[in-house]
Amino acid sequence: MKHAPLAVLLTACILCCGCTAPKQEQSQPEIGTLPPIQTDAEAAPVQADTAAETMPLHPETVPVAPEEPAVLIPAPEISQPDYQGGDGGEEHAETPLPEYFTYRFYENGFSARLAGGMYQALEADLSAVSPLDAETGYYLCDSDFDGDLDLSVPVLYTESQKRFAVFLWDADTAHFAETPVMLTDPQYFPADRHLTVIEQDASEATVKDCIWENGTLTEILTAKANAESLNLLVHAKNENGSAADQAFEAEDRDALTEMLLQYYHRKTPLQTGTT
């Protein structure tokens, strides 16, 4: 009788085990129906894909070549200066001269930097040129023949036309002028202190022969060619400042082009004698 409670307790445990065992077998799903277990390593690609779908994409900017303007005369054969400065090092870290700067170009301007940091930033509309054209097309040249190098930045850079914003160096302030002088396909004649430019569209082309007077670019000769009438009109100033006009006719476009380029290259008697 002393062992009766223990026997009752054992009997109860056996009955409980028998009742619960079938329930566990019924709750287990069939083989192959369990969802796959996702480890941390497997979850990472899912998170990356989700981020790629939700984050904005920033593809590399592909430079768009500027549209070629229609011109009357093929690109003149000229040799643009190719000196770009950047000669400064630590020894010239505080020497503000154009040849010691390095230049960085942006869509709305550029900066001139010395080894010690940025020296001057100026605004310019460079939206019509690619960053590569700006980097490779700019040059330093004494554009106003005063002995200091000036900065020419391309604002139009195509096979048929190249237009530059020329920032003149002011030795008194040791800065570039904020307002540039616009020159299209400039050609320099330092011995005569002249420069020529050519501006054109599909039907007309104009050559301007210029000199600097008190820091201002002044036209002393203008030669305009018209493709429809095949004539060339020349307006020139002599040494006394009085003006003279001349008109010439050409047989065809090739002859008209040749006549105009004589003024662009300063090979006419009038230009040779005007200094």
Who's near 25: CB < 8 A, 6+ residues apart?
A: none
Q: Kindly tell me if the per-residue pLDDT of 232 is higher than 50.
A: yes
| Residue of higher predicted confidence among 275 and 263 | 263
Q: What's residue 134's pLDDT?
A: 94
Sign of the CA dihedral with 125 first, then 129, 132, and 138 last: negative
Q: How confident is the model at residue 47 (pLDDT cuts 50, 70, 90)?
A: very low
Q: Where does the pLDDT of residue 59 fall: very low under 50, low under 70, confident under 90, or very high at 90 and above?
A: very low
pLDDT level of residue 57 (50, 70, 90 thresholds)? very low
| Selection from 120, 117, 107 nearest residue 169 by Cα | 120
Q: Report the pLDDT averaged over residues 12-18.
A: 46
Q: What's the average model confidence in pLDDT over 89-93?
A: 80
CA dihedral sign of residues 129, 130, 134, 136: negative
* DSSP conformation class of 258: H
Residue (of 128, 122, 127) closest to 109 by Cα position:
122
Segment among 66-70, 87-91, 227-231 with least mean pLDDT: 66-70
More reliable by pLDDT, 7 or 83:
83
Q: How confident is the model at residue 66 (pLDDT cuts 50, 70, 90)?
A: low
In this predicted structure, the answer to whether residue 58 has a pLDDT above a threshold of 80 is no
Stronger pLDDT, 210 or 15, i.e. the higher one: 210
Quick one: pLDDT at residue 44? 36
Report for 65-69, 76-80, 235-239: range of highest mean pLDDT: 235-239
Q: What is the pLDDT of residue 93?
A: 84
DSSP-derived 3-state class of residue 93? coil
* Pairing status of strand 139-141 against strand 150-157: antiparallel
Residue-level pLDDT at 16: 45
Q: What is the pLDDT of residue 72?
A: 79
Buried b (16+ CB within 10 A) or exposed e, 166-204: bbbbeeeeeebbeebbebbbbbbbeeeebbbbbbbeeee
Of 64, 255, 81, residue with least CA distance to 162: 81
- Residue 64 confidence (pLDDT): 53
Tally the C-alpha atoms within 13 A of residue 48's C-alpha that lie toward its C-beta: 6
Half-sphere exposure of 267 (CA within 13 A, CB side): 7
Confidence at residue 23, expressed as pLDDT on a 0 to 100 scale: 43
The count of other CB atoms within 10 Å of the CB of residue 219 is: 13
Higher per-residue pLDDT: 176 or 130: 176
Mean residue pLDDT across the chain: 79
pLDDT, tens digit, 9 for 90 and up, residues 116-167: 789 999 999 999 998 889 999 999 999 999 999 999 999 999 888 899 999 9
Average pLDDT on 222-227 reads 95
Q: Is the pLDDT of residue 225 over 60?
A: yes
Residue that wins the pLDDT comparison between 247 and 43? 247
